[in-house]
Structure 1
Amino acid sequence: MNLHSRKLSDKEMLDLAMGELDRAHADISRLLRLHKSNVSAMSSLLENINRESGSDRPHSLEGLVVQLTSRFGGLNSITHYLAEKKYDNAFVWASAIRNRLSKDVGFVRALRDLQIKRGEVSDALLLTHEVARQDPRINAAGIRKLEGRFREMSGWTPKIPGLKVPIDNPVQGRILHLVKESRPYLSNGFTSRSQRNFVAEAQSGLDPVVVTEPGFPRGLVGKSFPRTEQVDGIPHVRLDVGDIDYAGMPVDDFLQMFAQLAYEEVVKHRPAAIHASSGRRGYETALVGLALQEKTGLPFVYEVRSFFEANWTSDVEWESTGETFSRRMWVEEMCMNRADRVLTIGQAMKDELISRGIPADKIGIIPNAVDTIAFTPRDRSQALASKHGLQDFPTFGYVSNMDHYRESQETLIEACKILKDAGSQARCVLVGSGPRKDALVAMAAGLGISDRVVFTGSVDHNDIPDYYSLIDIFVVPRIPERAATYVTPLKPFEAMALRKPIVVSDLPALTEIVAPPERGTTFPAGDAGALASLLMRLFDDPEECMRMASAGLDWVTTSRTWGSNGERYVEEFGKLFEEDATK
């Protein structure tokens, strides 16, 4: 198991320590100036610190900060840098005083919080137990939840009690799908892809049965929902054990329950294969699939739809570092290696999986696609254009949630400012909403272009095609981040089906879609100036825009419909059954 976490080298530790020492010197100098009566005491303190820092290499930083009484002293040395999100600096000080303050429950609690922020889950768990030992009032349930998370990232899988029990006479072509959520209770990218593909499977001769995780949709709609239902003709089973706190359970207990309840459905429906799609942390639904594979001997397919290893933190600088990230990477790879077959959604993702050691011939691609009936070419909606003041202006824009920095709507806003300064009348149209919207609105106001950037807010799913019609050139401005780099989004396919010229940032998952210059063109990710220059050229070249738009429309209608995915699943499961027959 490769669990190398983000560790500071000796030189990095020394550099940080000496930097902190310089700051402490400056702080003491300030105190000397403000409190001349304490000159003697402060001078003595400064001499002590200089003496402590005089060794060739501080094998232990103990002593550097033992006597500091400023903001660098004791617990303050951690909380100060925690607040500033300077976790390495906080760790340097914590390392220096850890032995001295190991019995101080406030310090231990702060150090635990720091290690959680740094993704050092093993140390965080040890410190949590130490806090509980020093303070008996600590809630044992909270400790158990952290233990469950650690266990989930340690090579554990649920175990269904009893001996292995093969399924008698599995139904040919029946596939039991394990998913975290589904239509009709949620409408998002995950559920859209799932439902379209379930229907495509059924239309191509497969027999899908969908099983959602325990507690869904109870958490959304309360107790009034059918335990089994048909969604577009596809049977859906809602695993449920009553009104309990599903979200509050330790994750290992939750997954154990998920596996045992799902096994009952396997016995009932007798599928020929188990299929799991990425869950909330990526691999957890696959862990349930592995438990069913072990119990029944049925072949298991893991569909990797995105990369979730970095989603453990909102601190961008830390998302791809630390022990938590390493453990989650390893568990993903364990699930893929133990699955009988792996599916993913694009070539960029497949290439990444191959680079992580998954055999190329084990990986199939089921791409994202589009409903070419719902999304058809149309003229600009005059009603919406009038509503948003867009009747007479060229436009560019994006349709996306405003919930993650990877979407980089900022690049479009900056490009709009550059276009304005260059004399262009172009308007930027941003369709969608989310927690980042207020900051984006403020950014446009700060640049003096509030009148040129249209924020539509949330729109009804059925109205989305008409909102696309407001956009002359569709831009996907994503910036480098694990999911953005490798995962193909749905929106470009929809824009292509509406015959929109496409411009994307030059990330592998996006260039794969447009195959520049065939179906679209690219600009360097995050480069608003390059984007603005490209847009000015395209606004002046309607023939090139129409050529790209027509090529994109031809491609999605022939190669990227949900219906065509049905045959892809038939082919992939066919390979699976052939391999299983030779075992």
Structure 2
Amino acid sequence: MELLEHAGVGTRMQARRLRSELELLAPGHRLAPLQAGAELGRKGPSTEENPDADAGLRVLHLITNSLPHTQSGYSLRTHRLLSSLRRAGVQSIALTRTGYPIMVGVPLASDEDAVDGVVYRRTLPSSLGATAEQRLVQEVDAALRIVDEFRPHVLHATTDYRNALVAQAVSQATGIPWILEVRGLMEQTWIASHRSKSSRARAADSEKARLVAAKEAELANEAHAVVTLSRTMAQELARRGVDDSRVVVVPNGVEDALLSRPTDMTDARRQVLPDLPSKAYAVGAVSALVDYEGFDVLLRAAARIIHDPSSPKELRNDLHVVIAGDGTAAPALRALTHELGIGDRTTMPGRVPRADAPTWLLSLDAVVVPRRDLRVTQWVTPQKPVEALALGRPLVVSDLPALRESVRTEEGLDCALLVPPEDPEALAGEIIRLWSHRHGSDGRSQAGRKLAASRRWPTLADRYVTVYRRLAHETAEE
């Protein structure tokens, strides 16, 4: 960094940005309160209000991105939660990070978007802060203005530590309690983004990875409550020093409409895969296409079946792979289909509209989640397995702790087939097994729909309401 500071203007600015990011990660570092926020900060919710009444609860959510500009597991979980809270009578406003969505290619973005009645506010200052800390302080300023207008009872920050820093600063200025929802482990996602084992090893051993993990644990301990996606994640947070008694688990859920939808795939396939042969046995997923999702393993498993004379002849002729979605791994996956000689047996339509994703899932004979064996995939649960279970789709997932938890009932029944990760031969064997039993009654699918029904978003939203009410009540008593 010292070399950058003594170089030209551009590199000096880069050094300034890097130093700011490093300062944010320093133990005990807090965002400095703004002068503009000092007066606003004293205006929290009225102590005369009744926080025990759900209709009186107001929550300010601090998030990274959102619909309609970003469609991801993160933004969809946020939207489903906020929609369910709205139906439960909880009022919410969600504030996104400084500069979003302009910084992701939406130059004419509005200061506010309303999607299905959910309000998303933007932090779009006339001049963007030059450093990471300056941008977070701009977001604090925007949040304090919302506090002055909205008078929330609770602040709810969602992954990662930067949103937590904003919530911490607003809480300090206003006395409003704050929650940190840990949906992922930022440093592990960053490590997993490196393509080679050697570069992942260097990233895992880096100062950045250590500092990010420590900062997120520090902020989780300072939050008034912590929410996470699974017991697997809760156990990892405990290993990092977070008090387990303060952690509430809220798994990925499903919307009611998904459970009430007919599960016959004939009409769905006619809608999204009209050119597929009528006898095709289609396996695949709807997902972000990044390396750690492991879809190259699925392609290699399919090629093994198609080209192996010992595979069932009918399946060799009928197997088709469908991978809907987009991401950094998409070009390599398309190239791999041709390298393996299965380009004519693979459909990759790119990103599909949010409303059409369930139809694509329903069009598949089997949904496959072939995630690689990395720390991020061991701990973090994806959204798609529970949606596939809700639709009654046969499901195959990598045998990893987070995925096992997401498909296992309280009685210990696995609602999906579990396969060793990164093993095309084992995956091919399970696909053959599913195909050979395709005409029979599948107890796993029935159990899967029951498991999904226990994870309806209205039910899961009640867990948040319980935490909100407790924190609001404790604050009112002080």
TM-score past 0.5 threshold: yes
Partner of residue 159, structure 1: 32
Partner of residue 39, structure 1: none
Partner of residue 451, structure 1: 344
Whether contact under 8 Å (1:165, 1:295) holds in the other structure is: yes
Partner of residue 264, structure 2: 378
**Would you say 1:393 and 2:251 are equivalent positions?**
no
**Would you say 1:418 and 2:418 are equivalent positions?**
no
Whether contact under 8 Å (1:385, 1:391) holds in the other structure is: no
The alignment's C-alpha RMSD in Å is 2.4
Whether contact under 8 Å (2:404, 2:414) holds in the other structure is: no
2-structure distance, mates of 1:283, 1:465: 32
Whether contact under 8 Å (2:377, 2:402) holds in the other structure is: yes
Which of 16, 30, 48 in structure 2 is aligned with 1:144? Answer: 16
Whether contact under 8 Å (1:349, 1:487) holds in the other structure is: yes
Whether contact under 8 Å (2:20, 2:133) holds in the other structure is: yes
Whether contact under 8 Å (1:538, 1:545) holds in the other structure is: no
Which of 144, 159, 168 in structure 2 is aligned with 1:263? Answer: 144
Which of 191, 207, 219 in structure 2 is aligned with 1:335? Answer: 219
**Would you say 1:128 and 2:4 are equivalent positions?**
yes
1-structure distance, mates of 2:269, 2:174: 58
**Would you say 1:206 and 2:90 are equivalent positions?**
yes
1-structure distance, mates of 2:276, 2:264: 19
1-structure distance, mates of 2:274, 2:431: 24
- Structure 1 range deviating more: 371-380 or 344-353: 371-380
- Per-residue deviation, 1:580: 4.1
2-structure distance, mates of 1:321, 1:287: 25
1-structure distance, mates of 2:246, 2:295: 37
Partner of residue 464, structure 2: 569
Secondary structure of 1:471's aligned partner: coil
2-structure distance, mates of 1:487, 1:544: 33
Which of 194, 203, 222 in structure 1 is aligned with 2:107? Answer: 222
Unaligned runs of 5+ in 2: 52-56
Whether contact under 8 Å (2:154, 2:178) holds in the other structure is: yes
- Per-residue deviation, 1:554: 1.8
**Equivalent residues in 2 for 1:152-301, closer than 5 Å:** 152-155=24-27, 156-161=29-34, 165=42, 167=44, 169=46, 172=51, 173-219=57-103, 220-223=105-108, 225=110, 227-228=111-112, 230-242=114-126, 244-245=127-128, 249-278=130-159, 282-301=160-179
- Per-residue deviation, 1:333: 0.7
2-structure distance, mates of 1:539, 1:309: 39
CA 323–215 in structure 1, closer or farther in 2 if over 3 Å, else same: same
CA 192–532 in structure 1, closer or farther in 2 if over 3 Å, else same: same
2-structure distance, mates of 1:143, 1:166: 38
Whether contact under 8 Å (2:43, 2:148) holds in the other structure is: no
**Equivalent residues in 2 for 1:361-510, closer than 5 Å:** 361-374=245-258, 376=261, 377-380=263-266, 381-383=268-270, 387-402=274-289, 404-420=290-306, 421=308, 422-423=310-311, 424-425=315-316, 426-510=319-403
For the pair shown, the structure with the greater C-alpha radius of gyration is: 1
1:410-444 deviation digits (Å, cap 9, x = unpaired): 11111112222133322222222333222222222
- Per-residue deviation, 1:563: 1.6
CA 338–419 in structure 1, closer or farther in 2 if over 3 Å, else same: same
Secondary structure of 1:213's aligned partner: strand
Whether contact under 8 Å (1:429, 1:470) holds in the other structure is: no
Whether contact under 8 Å (1:311, 1:319) holds in the other structure is: no
Secondary structure of 2:458's aligned partner: helix
The AA in structure 2 aligned to 1:552 is G
CA 185–444 in structure 1, closer or farther in 2 if over 3 Å, else same: closer
Partner of residue 538, structure 1: 434
Partner of residue 89, structure 1: none
1:533-555 deviation digits (Å, cap 9, x = unpaired): 12222222236662111211122
Unaligned runs of 5+ in 1: 1-124
1-structure distance, mates of 2:441, 2:376: 28
CA 505–224 in structure 1, closer or farther in 2 if over 3 Å, else same: closer
1:540-574 deviation digits (Å, cap 9, x = unpaired): 223666211121112212x1122212211111223
- Per-residue deviation, 1:518: 3.4
Whether contact under 8 Å (2:217, 2:240) holds in the other structure is: yes
2-structure distance, mates of 1:228, 1:401: 26
Whether contact under 8 Å (1:475, 1:504) holds in the other structure is: yes
CA 492–148 in structure 1, closer or farther in 2 if over 3 Å, else same: same
- Per-residue deviation, 1:311: 4.2
1-structure distance, mates of 2:280, 2:109: 49
1-structure distance, mates of 2:89, 2:143: 24
1-structure distance, mates of 2:439, 2:471: 46
2-structure distance, mates of 1:399, 1:568: 28
- Per-residue deviation, 1:465: 2.3
2-structure distance, mates of 1:212, 1:386: 36
- Per-residue deviation, 1:182: 2.0
TM-score (norm 1): 0.72
1:238-287 deviation digits (Å, cap 9, x = unpaired): 23222x346xx210111112112211221222111111111xxx210100
- Per-residue deviation, 1:386: 5.8
TM-score (norm 2): 0.86
Whether contact under 8 Å (1:304, 1:345) holds in the other structure is: yes
Provide the identity percentage.
27
CA 210–544 in structure 1, closer or farther in 2 if over 3 Å, else same: same
- Per-residue deviation, 1:321: 1.6
CA 551–136 in structure 1, closer or farther in 2 if over 3 Å, else same: closer
Whether contact under 8 Å (1:128, 1:143) holds in the other structure is: yes
The AA in structure 2 aligned to 1:397 is G
- Structure 1 range deviating more: 543-552 or 438-447: 543-552
1-structure distance, mates of 2:381, 2:348: 24
- Structure 1 range deviating more: 180-189 or 409-418: 180-189
- Per-residue deviation, 1:323: 0.6
Secondary structure of 2:252's aligned partner: coil
The AA in structure 1 aligned to 2:419 is F
- Per-residue deviation, 1:228: 4.2
The AA in structure 1 aligned to 2:30 is T
Partner of residue 310, structure 1: 188
CA 138–204 in structure 1, closer or farther in 2 if over 3 Å, else same: closer
Whether contact under 8 Å (1:341, 1:363) holds in the other structure is: yes
**Equivalent residues in 2 for 1:86-125, closer than 5 Å:** 125=1
The AA in structure 2 aligned to 1:522 is L
